[in-house]
Structures are given as structure tokens and as C-alpha cells.
């Protein structure tokens, strides 16, 4: 779900990608929180996958 919200504001063009990430963090309401939740959720997902496979 957070990836969908991030994708609404992200542009993948090489000249504007960094500025779109900056736009998400600075100009979007709670954009920094959505970005951090997305990163931490992805890390938690991969930890769960690792624990499931290693079991």
C-alpha cells in the first residue's frame, strides 16, 4: 500500500528521479513517514521470508 502512494509522486526519469524523492520527503504530507514505513516494511518482509526458508 505504501508503494502505491510513493508511486503516485515518483518519476523514474534519470534527470528527475532524485528531485522526485526529495519532493516526496519535503512537499507531500507525511511523505517522509510513508517512505520510512515502506523501507522498514520491506526489510521486515524479507526477514520473515528468510526465517520461513531457514526454518
Whole-number pLDDT of residue 34: 94
Q: How far apart are CA 28 and CA 9, in angstroms?
A: 9
Domain count, the chain: 1
Q: CA 16 from chain center: how many Å?
A: 17
Sorting pLDDT into bands at 50, 70 and 90, what band is 2? confident
User: According to DSSP H, which parts of 1-55 are helical?
Assistant: 2-9, 17-26, 31-54
CA angle 22, 23, 24 (to 5 degrees): 90
10-50 pLDDT per residue, tens: 999 999 999 999 999 999 999 999 999 999 999 999 999 99
Range of the domain at 21: 2-54
Nearest residue to 54 via CA among 41, 46, 42: 46
8's CB contacts (< 8 A; 6+ apart) are none
Does the pTM surpass 0.75? The reply is no
Amino acid at each position: 500500500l505504501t508503494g502505491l502512494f510513493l508511486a503516485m509522486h515518483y518519476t523514474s526519469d534519470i534527470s528527475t528521479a532524485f528531485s522526485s524523492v526529495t519532493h516526496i520527503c519535503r512537499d507531500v504530507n507525511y511523505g517522509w513517514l510513508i517512505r520510512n514505513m515502506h523501507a522498514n516494511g520491506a526489510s521486515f518482509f524479507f526477514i520473515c521470508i528468510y526465517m520461513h526458508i531457514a526454518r
